[in-house]
């Protein structure tokens, strides 16, 4: 990776810990953990929660696959990367731009081994491929498991096409454990991105008909087994206390699975169930056990947080939207974010502060419901938007627009600021 201007980060005094990010596909807020579905057993994820921290108000940076992954790996709103518009398909000839700096690239520059196992979905051209973006090693699928053709790769070599998905989670787990065990004494970053529970659903023979929640439950229980195998590998090599493990998802569940108390599901651009996802983090000796935080966070916060823990510095030649949330991961309630934006493709749909959510548009795929009307001379029953108090009503059922005009005015101000700065990027690309 070429050198880049830097912005100094506050030192944590922790010397090059290992990082594992387990990133699931379409896993719901209510599917896992100690408050998850009573029909799905997840003892290893439950253990992570009991021994670590749960972030109650954590969001993906998008409501669908590709932009969510771009946000995670670059620390930026996906609209800044040019990948905010829906998802990539096998015949697309573009992807993550070469000039973007990924978490893997930044950690590799600090002497980390970097490995990516699972679903990539950020482009198949060389400059957008995992090994072209800081990963020493790649094993997995180039995109979602419902796309065709569907080859399984090791680096740039096709191993199998079409891939046998019944053993995919098992093989991902084997590769992840092997990556850990190859050089356990050298700092590493492992990005384990499961292809499921994105549909179509598959589970290996050992997990078939095992859960009480049908095939979906079988898939989740196999992912939980995978988490257990990763944790056991850390313990075998006595690096458990030097490894931060994070378990989360790219967006909410689709037509199966549970959003828990959150409104709506995958693809919903403005509601909590579209981008509100589980987030559990464990690091013995560094993160206190059994705590939770209500601070608002987003997956792009991992970029500055992990770099800070590694003693690295942030790129100074670009906007990094993520914030260092290390104090939040230790159970702190104070978010470094004053507010966060929700998007559908390239348009802002909602603004979230710690207490309030201001919703101006609701999408599902191509459907649009606009609550604001004044900008276009239109009239809408809910103009200028819906205001939800997420401390009082986390399910977003009742609006307080009438009761809180001052809050609405502040949210509109933030909305217009975001439109000037972020939606402008999309217009410039056209």
Would you say residue 5 has pLDDT above 70? no
Tokens at residue 364, please?
């599902």
Q: If phi over 0 gives left and psi between -120 and 50 gives alpha, with beta otherwise, what is residue 410? A: alpha
Higher pLDDT, 204 or 3: 204
**pLDDT score for 6:** 39
Query: Are residues 274 and 206 part of one domain?
Result: yes
Query: Are residues 360 and 325 part of one domain?
Result: no
Query: Are residues 415 and 389 part of one domain?
Result: yes
Active-site annotation holder among 44, 121, 198, 337: 121
Tokens at residue 260, please?
């828990």
* Percent of the chain residues topping a pLDDT of 70: 93
Query: Are residues 346 and 288 part of one domain?
Result: no
**Would residue 44 count as lying in a domain?**
yes
Query: Are residues 307 and 169 part of one domain?
Result: yes
Query: Are residues 344 and 321 part of one domain?
Result: no
**Would residue 250 count as lying in a domain?**
yes
Query: Are residues 277 and 400 part of one domain?
Result: no
DSSP strand E in 235-331: where? 243-249, 279-282, 291-293, 297-298, 314-315
| Residue where a domain terminates, one of 304, 329, 354 | 329
The count of structural domains within the chain is 2
Is 194 catalytic? The answer is no
- Find out whether 221 and 211 touch, Cβ atoms under 8 Å: yes
Would you say residue 375 has pLDDT above 80? no
- Find out whether 63 and 274 touch, Cβ atoms under 8 Å: yes
Query: Are residues 391 and 317 part of one domain?
Result: no
Tokens at residue 392, please?
């009082």
**Would residue 334 count as lying in a domain?**
no
| Residue where a domain terminates, one of 329, 356, 384 | 329
**Would residue 240 count as lying in a domain?**
yes
User: What does the mean pLDDT of the chain come to?
Assistant: 93
Query: Are residues 170 and 264 part of one domain?
Result: yes
Residue 229: Cβ-neighbour burial (10 angstroms; 0-12, 13-18, 19+) = middle
Max CA pair span of the chain? 65
**pLDDT score for 424:** 80
CATH number for 361: 3.30.1120.10
Would you say residue 11 has pLDDT above 90? no
Query: Are residues 379 and 324 part of one domain?
Result: no
CATH number for 290: 3.40.720.10
**Would residue 335 count as lying in a domain?**
no
CA distance 430 to 424: 10
Higher pLDDT, 372 or 160: 160
Active-site annotation holder among 58, 65, 194, 198: 65
- Provide mean pLDDT across the span 253-275: 94
Would you say residue 376 has pLDDT above 80? no
**Would residue 165 count as lying in a domain?**
yes
Q: Flag the least confident range among 145-159, 280-294, 339-353, 369-383.
A: 369-383
- Provide mean pLDDT across the span 237-263: 96
CA distance 391 to 86: 31
**Would residue 45 count as lying in a domain?**
yes
**Would residue 92 count as lying in a domain?**
yes
| Residue where a domain terminates, one of 277, 306, 329 | 329
Query: Are residues 305 and 373 part of one domain?
Result: no
CA distance 109 to 375: 47
Is 65 catalytic? The answer is yes
CA distance 96 to 119: 14
pTM: 0.94
Residues spanned by the domain of 417: 340-429
pLDDT tens-digit profile of 284-339?
A: 999 999 999 999 999 999 999 999 999 999 999 999 999 999 999 999 999 999 99
Query: Are residues 289 and 364 part of one domain?
Result: no
As beta bridge partners, residue 395 has: none
């Amino acid at each position: 990776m070429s050198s880049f201007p830097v912005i100094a980060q506050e030192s944590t005094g922790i010397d090059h810990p290992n990082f594992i990010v387990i990133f699931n596909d379409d896993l719901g807020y209510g599917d896992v953990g100690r408050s998850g579905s009573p029909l799905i057993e997840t003892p290893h994820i439950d253990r992570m929660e009991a021994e670590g921290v749960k972030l109650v108000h954590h969001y993906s940076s998008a409501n669908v696959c590709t932009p969510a992954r771009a946000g995670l790996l670059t620390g930026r709103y996906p609209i800044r990367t040019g990948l905010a518009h829906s998802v990539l398909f096998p015949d697309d000839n573009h992807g993550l731009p070469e000039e973007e700096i990924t978490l893997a690239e930044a950690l590799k520059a600090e002497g980390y081994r970097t490995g990516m196992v699972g679903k990539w979905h950020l482009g198949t051209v060389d400059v957008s491929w995992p090994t072209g973006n800081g990963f020493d090693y790649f094993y997995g699928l180039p995109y979602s498991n419902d796309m065709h053709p569907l080859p399984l790769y090791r680096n740039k070599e096709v191993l199998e096409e079409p891939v046998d998905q019944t053993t995919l989670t098992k093989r991902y787990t084997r590769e992840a454990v092997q990556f850990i065990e190859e050089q356990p004494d050298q700092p590493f970053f492992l990005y384990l991105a499961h292809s499921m529970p994105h549909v179509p659903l598959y589970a290996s023979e050992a997990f078939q008909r095992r859960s009480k929640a049908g095939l979906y439950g079988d898939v989740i229980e196999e992912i939980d087994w995978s988490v257990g195998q990763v944790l056991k590998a850390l313990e075998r090599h006595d690096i458990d206390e030097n490894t931060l493990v994070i378990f989360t998802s790219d967006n909410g569940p689709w037509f199966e699975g549970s959003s828990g108390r959150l409104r709506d599901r995958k693809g919903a651009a403005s509601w909590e169930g579209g981008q509100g996802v589980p987030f559990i983090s464990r690091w013995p000796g560094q993160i206190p056990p059994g705590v939770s935080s209500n601070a608002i966070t987003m997956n792009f916060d991992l970029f500055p947080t992990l770099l800070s823990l590694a003693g690295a510095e942030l790129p100074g030649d670009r906007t990094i939207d993520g914030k260092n949330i290390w104090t939040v991961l230790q159970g702190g309630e104070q978010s470094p974010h004053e507010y966060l934006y929700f998007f559908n493709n390239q348009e802002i749909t909602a603004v979230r502060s710690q207490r309030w959510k201001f919703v101006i548009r609701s999408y599902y795929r191509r459907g649009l419901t606009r609550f604001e009307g004044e900008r276009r001379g239109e009239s809408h029953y809910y103009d200028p938007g819906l205001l939800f108090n997420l401390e009082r009503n986390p399910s977003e059922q009742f609006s307080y627009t009438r009761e809180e005009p001052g809050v609405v005015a502040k949210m509109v101000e933030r909305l217009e600021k975001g439109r000037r700065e972020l939606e402008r990027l999309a217009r410039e690309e056209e």
